[in-house]
Structures are given as C-alpha cells and as structure tokens.
C-alpha cells in the first residue's frame, strides 16, 4: 500500500464561471478546478497518475520513474505525489541541465533527476530504452511520458463523479457537455469512457493535427471496449503547441480579471478562447450548460518568460 492513492482522492471544486460573453449568449459554464485539488499537487496529471500508481503498488514497487521536460506538469505532479504519499521518484529529463521553477520544485520534492540530452530523450520509444534504468532502479515502476494510455484515462473517469456530486450546489440537475484542453487526449478519453455517450465531450486541441490526438483517443476508446462514444476535437493550437500570441495573452488577462480564475497560455487559456469563438459562432443553443475542466498547469507558467 506504499504508493496507493486509495485513501487520498482530492475533490476539485465546481464553480460558476462568470464571463460576459457567456452571459450574452445565454450559455452557463461551471468550471471544475483541478488547479485547486491540493496545495502541492495540481491538475489533470494527478488523475492520470492514479491507475499507474495502483499498478506500481500491485507490482510491489518502492517508487516511480518517469520522463518529461524542464517545465513538465506531469513530473511536477508525480514528484509532489511522491513527497505527499512518501514514495521514491526519479525523473528523466529532456535536454541539458537547466534550472527552471519546475526543476527547483522537483528537487525540493526529493525527485532524483537525470538529464538525457535531446537525442537520448528522443530514444524513449525505442525498445530497450528502459533496460539500463530498470537495472539502475530495480524497485521503481516506469510510467510513460505524461502518464498516458488507457491507465491514464481510467483515472480521469473520476472527474465525472466529482461533477455529479456537486451539480446540485449550482442548482443544476444536469449539463449538456464537457469542454477541456487536450494535449494527448488522455483526459478527454477518460471523460468519454465515463460518459459512454450520455454527454458529449469537446476537446480543444492545444497541439496541431499531426500530433495524432484523434487516433490516440480512438485507440483508448477501442481498448476499453466502449460501444457508444460522443466526442469532438476542435483545433485550438493557434499555430503550434506552446505558441503564444498577443491576442491570446490579452484574452487571458481580460478573462482572469473578469472571472478571477488563473489561466496559463498553453492549455487552459487556449481552450477557453476556443470556447469563446465557438460560442460567438453560435455553436451552442441558448440555455446550454457546459462543464469546463481547468486542467491546471499553473506551475508551468512561471517558466514562460513571454508571460507577463
Ligand atoms: C497535460 C495537460 C493537458 C493535456 O492533457 P491530456 O490528457 O494529455 O490531453 C491539459 N492541460 C494541462 C494544464 C496539462 O498540463
């Protein structure tokens, strides 16, 4: 039970999201604040880790080894979970040693870091990549980059339950769909599995089309054996992953000032701007109620120099 998160399932608050462009269109949005689940651990990356941690526990591991970049929300959540739940963590990092706010946190949380360079990191999908690491850390369980795959998606099914139990606080008896940012589509896939076609899930793509989100989501849905699924992927990348532009930054600043919810420009800001564009294009009927998932990522924005 060393790694098991069984006794620690944080509740994300569900709050009304008040913005004039929603009100004008007669659309109501509630925001599920995954950025507020815990002072240390934040965002969808925690939910994506749950099933991986259970598997690590079943395997009798003492801890977890995984990989990511110098601003990685995934490694941040993993290191924080290791600190909180008391298990060992090792992070394999892309590129050459650099000090970012994220890296400083990883070190403070006690994660052991190894920098792989760029070539070394690119080899992560090659057969045999894990062998030397498994030899060096025989008691650790390896979790893929970003905590993806079916295991990652299954942990995100919990989000539907978290919304269901809080709906009545808003005076809602139901909702019409979900809206969230997608990187790999794992979190969206978890919601699609949880909904099984009951409510549609709209994914705002933070990455361009060639990142293969659609086939990845389809593969998870197929692997889970789901018969009926309802989801749609909408381009929201604005020219590329992590590309920011003045329109986006101004939108984020205005939205933060109006609704008081902090956003970052890679995922949540782009997802909300894409929602505004769809709302203004008349995509949703008057009276539509949507759940917007705040997927977190605020720790990563400290490292973005262009973000003022
Ligand atoms: C990783 C991440 C996403 C994307 O999640 P996927 O499951 O890969 O689609 C969205 N928002 C934030 C803040 C993230 O860190």
Q: What is the DSSP string of 74-117?
A: HHHHHHHHHHHHT-EEEEEESBS----HHHHHHHHTT-EEEE-H
Give pLDDT tens digits for 81-121.
999 999 999 999 999 999 999 999 999 999 999 999 999 99
Per-residue pLDDT, averaged over 204-222, amounts to 96
- The topology (CATH level 3) of 5-39+150-301 is Rossmann fold (3.40.50)
* Tokens (6 digits) for 166: 């809080």
For the chain, what percent of residues have pLDDT higher than 70? 96
- pLDDT band, residue 2 (cuts 50/70/90): low
Q: At residue 245, does pLDDT exceed 80?
A: yes
Q: Which residue has the higher pLDDT, 26 or 302?
A: 26
pLDDT score at 117: 98
CA atoms of 271 and 289, how far apart (whole Å): 17
Evaluate: CB of 269 within 6 angstroms of ligand 1. no
Per-residue pLDDT, averaged over 254-275, amounts to 98
Q: Which residue has the higher pLDDT, 307 or 58?
A: 58
Evaluate: CB of 186 within 6 angstroms of ligand 1. yes
What is the 185 CA–ligand 1 centroid distance (Å)? 8
| Alpha carbon separation from 169 to 59, 164, 283 (Å, rounded) | 40, 10, 27
Evaluate: CB of 43 within 6 angstroms of ligand 1. yes
What is the 199 CA–ligand 1 centroid distance (Å)? 21
For the chain, what percent of residues have pLDDT higher than 90? 90
What is the 1 CA–ligand 1 centroid distance (Å)? 28
- pLDDT band, residue 7 (cuts 50/70/90): low
Give pLDDT tens digits for 22-35.
999 999 999 999 99
Specify the range with the lowest mean pLDDT, choosing from 30-34, 40-44, 78-82, 211-215. Answer: 40-44
* Torsion sign across C-alpha atoms 128, 130, 135, 140: negative
- pLDDT band, residue 306 (cuts 50/70/90): very low
Helix or strand run (H / E) with residue 235: strand 231-235
Residue to substitute in 37, 76, 267 for testing ligand 1 pocket (most ligand atoms within 8 angstroms of CB): 267
- pLDDT band, residue 307 (cuts 50/70/90): very low
- pLDDT band, residue 51 (cuts 50/70/90): very high
Measured from the CA of 264, which atom of ligand 1 is nearest?
A: 13
Evaluate: CB of 296 within 6 angstroms of ligand 1. yes
Domains 5-39+150-301 and 44-147 share a fold: yes
**What's this model's pTM, rounded to 2 decimal places?**
0.96
Q: At residue 308, does pLDDT exceed 50?
A: no
* Torsion sign across C-alpha atoms 290, 295, 299, 300: negative
* Residue of minimum CA distance from atom 15 in ligand 1: 297
Evaluate: CB of 44 within 6 angstroms of ligand 1. yes
> For the structural domain made of 44-147, what CATH number should be given?
3.40.50.1100
pLDDT score at 59: 95
Give pLDDT tens digits for 156-197.
999 999 999 999 999 999 999 999 999 999 999 999 999 999
Per-residue pLDDT, averaged over 60-74, amounts to 96
Q: What are the boundaries of each domain within the chain?
A: 5-39+150-301, 44-147
Residue to substitute in 181, 186, 220 for testing ligand 1 pocket (most ligand atoms within 8 angstroms of CB): 181
What is the 296 CA–ligand 1 centroid distance (Å)? 8
């Amino acid at each position: 039970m060393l790694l098991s998160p069984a006794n620690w399932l944080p509740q994300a608050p569900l709050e009304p999201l008040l913005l004039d462009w929603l009100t004008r269109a007669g659309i109501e949005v509630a925001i599920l604040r995954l950025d507020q689940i815990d002072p240390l651990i934040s965002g969808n990356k925690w939910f994506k880790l749950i099933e991986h941690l259970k598997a690590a526990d079943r395997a009798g591991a003492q801890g977890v080894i995984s990989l990511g970049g110098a601003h990685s929300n995934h490694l941040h959540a993993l290191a924080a979970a290791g600190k909180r739940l008391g298990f060992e963590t090792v992070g394999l990092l892309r590129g050459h040693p650099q000090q970012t706010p994220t890296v400083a946190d990883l070190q403070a949380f006690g994660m052991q870091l190894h920098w792989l360079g760029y070539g070394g990191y690119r080899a992560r999908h090659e057969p045999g990549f894990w062998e030397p690491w498994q030899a060096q850390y025989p008691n650790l369980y390896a979790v893929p980059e970003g905590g993806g795959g079916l295991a990652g998606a299954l942990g995100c099914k919990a989000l539907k339950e978290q919304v269901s139990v809080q709906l009545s606080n808003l005076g809602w008896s139901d909702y019409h769909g979900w809206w969230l940012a997608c990187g790999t589509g794992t979190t969206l896939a978890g919601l699609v599995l949880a909904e099984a076609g009951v409510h549609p899930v709209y994914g705002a793509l933070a990455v361009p089309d060639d990142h293969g989100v659609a086939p990845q989501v389809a593969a998870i849905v197929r692997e889970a054996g789901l018969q009926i699924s309802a989801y749609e992927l909408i381009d929201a990348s604005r020219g590329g992953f992590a590309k920011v532009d003045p329109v986006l930054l101004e939108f984020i600043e205005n939205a933060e000032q109006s609704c008081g919810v902090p956003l970052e420009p890679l995922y949540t800001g782009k997802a909300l701007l894409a929602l505004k564009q769809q709302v203004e294009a008349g995509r949703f009927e008057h009276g539509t109620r949507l759940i917007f998932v705040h997927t977190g990522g605020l720790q990563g924005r400290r490292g973005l120099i262009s973000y003022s």
